[in-house]
Amino acid sequence: MNSAKAVPYLLLFLFLFIKVSAFRMLIFDTKSIGHIAFVEFPVWALLLAIGLLIFKKHRWLTVWIYSFLVSGIFFAVTLYSRYYTTIPSYYDLQQTTQSSTVGTTILLLINPLDFLFFSDLILLAIIGRRWRRLPRTNALKYAVIGFLVISAITTAYAIKQPIIDISYFAKENGYAQSQLVQMYQQTTEKAHASSTELSPKKLEELKGNEFIPVHSHENFGLAEGRHLFVVQVESMQNFVVGKSLDGQEITPNINALLDESAYFSNVFQQIGAGTTSDAEWIANTGLYTEGMVPIVNQLNGDKVPSLAYALKDKGYGSATYHADDIEFWNRDVLYPALGFDEVFSIEDMPDIKQVGFGPADEVLFDFALDELPRQLKTYDRIYSNIVMMTSHTPFLMPEKMQYLNLPKEYEDTHVGNYLQAVRYADEQVGVFIQELKDQGLFDESLIVIFGDHSGIHGSPLSLEDEVLLNDFLGHPYSLKERYTVPLVMTGGGLFEGTEMKRLGGQVDIMPTVLALLGIEYDHPLMGHNLFQYEKNLLGMRYYMPGGSFIQSEQLYKAPGAKLPDMLYDLKTMEKRGKNSETKKHIRDVQVILEYGDSLLKPYIQD
């Protein structure tokens, strides 16, 4: 064997090794070159070596295409992880259709250094001039055998590990292997591990409560026979409620409404990759999502037991409103599955006052209010599900829709823009509530307002933003502030300004609403009536590493791509050491999540 012939190949594999190393260091903070060389690199190198063997006549073309593809993958994974703080999987390719609307956000995340992933293309051009044809050599065959053996060993080992968190799994077992194992588990159905059924009693016990039948619950039937309005507010986090900036309240309308509301101030978002649409799913089904994949991308189109169906049985007609394309987040599949009688999207609403990707919330509310007289004639009772959108990142509000006079240092900052956008959303909620009052409907309705998920997170936050946030809050921004969303329940004569500090999740919204309306529900629910139960145990998968939990006393962040695990006291958010309770909650939340997955099975594609 002429060893000189191997030189260009050695260089090609060296470039690939450097690229793989840079990727690992960036995404997983990997410091061990040995780990990279034996776990991550061999799979990528194997693919290149096989390509070179197969396409003998077009070796350079193979190298170029492969290098470009790998650079593209690493570039995309880096951007994705920066925004979502978890790695994307091949599943997420299904989401590419959704990326156009979040394009502006993605642009904010690109760091010019990311393009260095493509810098090996320059090196390839240089060695391409030196070796215009890549020589024949047996070394390639040996390389394939060597890489194959190592890849087979690491993949076989990986297959035996449970995937509790995909990023952590990829960190330990290799990104390439994580994708292979996921594919393998999906085809063999292990991804949706079937679990033993949990009775409502057992589920409540895992959360730390004694089960009580719903008809004996606190506030059961308090709002019986009322209309229901559910308002999902885009990106509204709990920390803005009751807060002021330079003497200006961020949510003056919601703040005023709290006097006649039950306000749950400790409710955690539970969305996964499907963000807004996951929140819609959770609020309308009382079920979890799988987390890593938007539930709307998995639905098989079958009817799903839901709030709309439960209310239909009681004579309600239902309508849902959102000012975006109906195909976005596959709502054209979601809404029929949830059984809404009437579905309104961007094409039904006047094409005016566009902000972001559709007409502003004021147009949405006007539209929904205009539909009311007809609906009130058509149905005994109505359920309206109104999904707001204007306060969506990047939170750029036209001047006319700016209600806050931002202090100089907040101008043109992400945090300042966020507060401005949320202030606008609050104004529209206020107008809507006032309109319901003017029409005499407030006294006949139960109105639920909640935030879909956080708006302030990830890389759009600059150091300057963090300083402002600290200044606004009076302390550093905690995970609790990031993940809690306001949940307000109101309606004439129902509540007298109660703040409920007990832990809740979005999954608890539907059970609480059903209890207030006095409806007993035959299908399984993952959440519970927040008026009744004191304790809670919630899972969160995508925005915290799998295995994380939020429990009435503790918040546990499982180990992820970069960081080790961390336990916090939920009340103070001070760091704590794990105790026996923590270990029990880690096990229990896994049981809850697996039960949650099993409940999704009838409604998702195989």
Q: Which residues bind ligand GP9 (CB under 6 A)?
A: 102, 275-276, 324, 328-329, 389, 392
CA 94 to the chain's CA centroid: 15
Q: How far is the CB of 63 from Mn ion (least distance, A)?
A: 42
275 DSSP 8-state letter: H
Q: How far is the CB of 280 from ligand GP9 (least distance, A)?
A: 8
Q: How far is the CB of 234 from Mn ion (least distance, A)?
A: 5
Q: Is 276 in the site for Mn ion (CB under 5 A)?
A: yes
Q: Which stretch binds Mn ion (CB under 5 A): 2-10, 24-32, 214-222, 276-284?
A: 276-284
- Please give the structure tokens belonging to residue 429: 């909620």
Report the residue from 452, 465, 508, 588 that binds Mn ion according to the rule CB under 5 A: 452
Nearer Cβ to ligand GP9, position 294 or 546? 294
Asked if residue 1 lies in contact with residue 139, where contact means CB atoms within 8 angstroms, the answer is yes
Nearer Cβ to ligand GP9, position 388 or 555? 388
The phi, psi pair for 487, rounded to 5°, reads -135, 115
State the binding partner of 137 from Mn ion, ligand GP9, none, CB within 5 to 8 A by kind.
Answer: none
Subset of 279-298 contacting Mn ion (CB under 5 A): none
CA torsion sign for 564, 543, 283, 241 is: positive
Q: How far is the CB of 485 from Mn ion (least distance, A)?
A: 11
The phi, psi pair for 287, rounded to 5°, reads -110, 165
| C-alpha dihedral (502, 503, 507, 508), degrees to nearest 10 | -10
What proportions of the chain, in percent to the nearest 5, are helix, strand and coil?
50, 15, 35
Q: How far is the CB of 324 from ligand GP9 (least distance, A)?
A: 3
Q: How far apart are the first and last CA of the chain?
A: 51
Q: How far is the CB of 507 from Mn ion (least distance, A)?
A: 17
State the binding partner of 253 from Mn ion, ligand GP9, none, CB within 5 to 8 A by kind.
Answer: none
Q: How many residues does the chain have?
A: 606
Judged by CB under 5 A, the number of residues near Mn ion is 4
Nearer Cβ to Mn ion, position 155 or 277? 277
- In whole angstroms, give the CA distance from residue 386 to residue 326: 14
Asked if residue 430 lies in contact with residue 250, where contact means CB atoms within 8 angstroms, the answer is no
Q: Is 324 in the site for Mn ion (CB under 5 A)?
A: no
Q: How far is the CB of 485 from ligand GP9 (least distance, A)?
A: 12
Residue closest to Mn ion (Cβ): 276
Nearer Cβ to ligand GP9, position 170 or 295? 295
Q: Is 361 in the site for Mn ion (CB under 5 A)?
A: no
CA torsion sign for 236, 242, 244, 250 is: positive
The phi, psi pair for 138, rounded to 5°, reads -70, -15
Provide the mask over 233-252, with x wherever binding to Mn ion is found by CB under 5 A and - wherever it is not: -x------------------
Query: Smallest Cα–Cα separation from 174: which of 76, 38, 45, 19?
Result: 38
Residue closest to ligand GP9 (Cβ): 275
The H-or-E segment that residue 247 falls in is none
Which residues here bind Mn ion, judged by CB under 5 A?
234, 275-276, 452
